[in-house]
């Protein structure tokens, strides 16, 4: 649905659809982007750090399964939570891509609409923990309502968020920006996870989860406030108006004609399938060794430390050698993590399991998201983003359900299947898939980092900075 056909006055007001869009040349748009580079880097760095701190207090791989296990013994409930965690952000994106391509401003979709769809539901999750001691059934229902609302609501604005980042950061800077931002965010989240150990171990149920979920909500709202400060460079709308039916009918043709993208999508879906076992690793450790809640907090810290290292290393690796290599390595690490989960002799080995799984997530966050931005021209970017992420969402939704069925039989069987899925993307499509980032000239600039904020200095557009020169 293009913006001109949006009749709801409330939605038009939230999206600033009636606000004039200044006419600018491509050179003026690029100049505005470069002028605001440091500012946008700073506020999005704070956004990423605050968001990951918040997520560490409601970590989908550790704290959520632990909380649900306090309310029910059903592995299907764990599986449903894993479906929401792994699929809800991805699934809605193709449904909004057509609409997002018709928006001159992406930020109002993320900030104004996203406040109600993504941030506000965190309060329902807190309420779930408040009533948990009185009514576990009501607490479970409220949790799933809030958790699904938060996840699917984030997915509704996710295409706009990714397109906003692509507008604010040129392709040569995206890998390092994403890698460093997620490195700082995961590092802050790891410190918060260590703090969550004391909360989970130091307070009785459900007070410990009331505190943990409240801190999650606090930092997720701080993230929203920082994201709202982004200065968006506006680009002209080049999309022709078309109905949602027409838009969806064109997608099969896109898949047929873009061979490289099709090979990428197959590999990406296989990698997503390997994540079916992530939500069950904590429950497996609980059943095998009856570990304490505090140890689960330690697993969260290991997971985030692994993600932190993965974010930074794969961000640099992708900028130098392309996202394809990063994703292939991620698949191999996934294979190692689930293999270790099968053969781990003591609970202590699970810290390494979670660190490896965190590194996989770090690679997927950086390369799995950014590589899609390089397959198309800017005006078609939301279509590629939405199609990729919704397809991943379908697999991510089916994966944990399959995982729950396998877990009912044997957790080791589940981890073995996940390990095989992890190493299959490279063998299936590795030879036919070309990294789109390597099809264009890269590394035309060098980047230097200021102490403290880790903000790359942007060299003049007319002349690249020479290696070894100071940052001005």
Report the share of the chain in percent with pLDDT over 70.
88
CATH number for position 121? 1.20.1250.20
Name residue, tokens 């968001």.
Answer: 51
Quick one: which of 342, 358, 330 has its CA closest to 59?
358
Cis geometry, peptide bond prior to residue 206 (ω within 30 degrees of 0): yes
Q: Per-residue pLDDT for 442 more than 50?
A: no
* 211 domain residue, yes or no: yes
Any idea which of 21-30, 167-176, 341-350, 352-361 has the lowest mean pLDDT?
A: 167-176
* 460 domain residue, yes or no: no
Helix (H, G, I), strand (E, B) or coil at 11: helix
Structure confidence at residue 431 (pLDDT): 53
* 453 domain residue, yes or no: no
Which element (helix H / strand E) includes 250? none
pLDDT in tens, 220-249: 999 999 999 999 998 777 767 788 889 899
* 444 domain residue, yes or no: no
- Considering 8-12, 184-188, 363-367, the range whose residues carry the highest mean pLDDT is 8-12
Tell me how far the alpha carbon of residue 97 is from its chain's centroid: 17
* 192 domain residue, yes or no: yes
Cis geometry, peptide bond prior to residue 373 (ω within 30 degrees of 0): no
Dist. CA 99–CA 441, nearest whole Å: 31
Structure confidence at residue 194 (pLDDT): 80
* 280 domain residue, yes or no: yes
Residue 125 — φ and ψ, nearest 5°? -65, -40
* Domain hosting residue 103, numbered range: 29-235+254-438
* 216 domain residue, yes or no: yes
Number of structural domains found in the chain:
1
Higher pLDDT, 323 or 170: 170
In SS3 terms, 365-401 reads as HHHHHHHHHHCCCHHHHHHHHHHHHHHHHHHHHHHHH
Dist. CA 204–CA 316, nearest whole Å: 43
* 15 domain residue, yes or no: no
- The pLDDT of 117-146, averaged and rounded, is 97
Tokens of 55: 């997520």
- The pLDDT of 133-160, averaged and rounded, is 96
Quick one: which of 170, 258, 162, 188 has its CA closest to 45?
188
Helix (H, G, I), strand (E, B) or coil at 456: strand
Q: Per-residue pLDDT for 407 more than 80?
A: yes
Dist. CA 266–CA 290, nearest whole Å: 39
């Amino acid at each position: 649905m293009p913006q001109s056909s949006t009749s709801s006055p409330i939605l038009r007001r939230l999206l600033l659809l009636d606000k004039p869009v200044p006419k600018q040349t491509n050179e003026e748009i690029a100049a505005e982007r470069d002028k605001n580079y440091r500012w946008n880097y700073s506020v999005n760095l704070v956004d990423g750090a605050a968001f990951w701190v918040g997520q560490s207090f409601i970590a989908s791989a550790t704290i959520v399964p632990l909380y649900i296990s306090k309310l029910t013994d059903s592995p299907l409930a764990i599986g449903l939570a894993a479906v929401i965690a792994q699929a809800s952000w991805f699934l809605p994106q193709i449904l909004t891509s057509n609409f997002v391509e018709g928006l001159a401003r992406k930020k109002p979709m993320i900030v104004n609409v996203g406040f109600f769809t993504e941030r506000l539901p965190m309060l329902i999750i807190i309420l779930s923990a408040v009533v948990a001691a009185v009514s576990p059934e009501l607490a479970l229902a409220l949790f799933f309502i809030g958790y699904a609302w938060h996840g699917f609501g984030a997915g509704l604005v996710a295409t706009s968020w990714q397109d906003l980042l692509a507008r604010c950061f040129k392709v040569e800077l995206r890998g390092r920006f994403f890698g460093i931002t997620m490195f700082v965010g995961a590092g802050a989240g790891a410190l918060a996870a260590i703090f969550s150990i004391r909360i989970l171990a130091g307070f009785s149920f459900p007070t410990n989860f009331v505190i943990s979920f409240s801190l999650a909500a606090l930092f997720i709202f701080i993230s929203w406030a920082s994201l709202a400060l982004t200065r968006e460079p506006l680009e002209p709308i080049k999309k022709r108006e078309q109905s949602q039916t027409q838009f969806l009918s064109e997608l099969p043709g896109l898949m047929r004609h873009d061979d490289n993208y099709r090979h990428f999508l197959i590999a990406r879906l296989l990698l997503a399938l390997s994540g079916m076992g992530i939500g069950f690793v904590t429950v497996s450790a609980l059943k095998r060794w009856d570990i304490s809640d505090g140890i689960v907090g330690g697993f969260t810290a290991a997971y985030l430390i692994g993600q932190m290292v993965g974010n930074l290393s794969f961000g640099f690796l992708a900028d130098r050698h392309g996202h394809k290599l990063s994703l292939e390595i991620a698949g191999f690490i996934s294979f190692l993590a689930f293999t270790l989960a099968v053969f781990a002799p003591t609970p202590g080995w699970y810290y390494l399991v979670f660190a490896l799984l965190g590194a996989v997530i770090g690679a997927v966050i950086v390369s799995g998201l950014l590589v899609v931005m390089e397959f198309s021209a800017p005006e078609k970017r939301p279509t590629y983003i939405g199609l990729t992420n919704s397809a991943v969402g379908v697999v991510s939704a089916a994966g944990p359900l399959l995982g729950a069925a396998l877990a009912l039989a044997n957790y080791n069987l589940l981890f073995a299947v996940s390990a095989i899925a992890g190493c299959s993307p490279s063998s299936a499509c590795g030879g036919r898939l070309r990294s789109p980032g390597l099809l264009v000239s890269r590394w035309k600039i060098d980047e230097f980092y200021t102490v403290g904020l880790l903000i790359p200095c942007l060299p003049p557009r007319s002349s690249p900075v020479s290696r070894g020169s100071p940052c001005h």
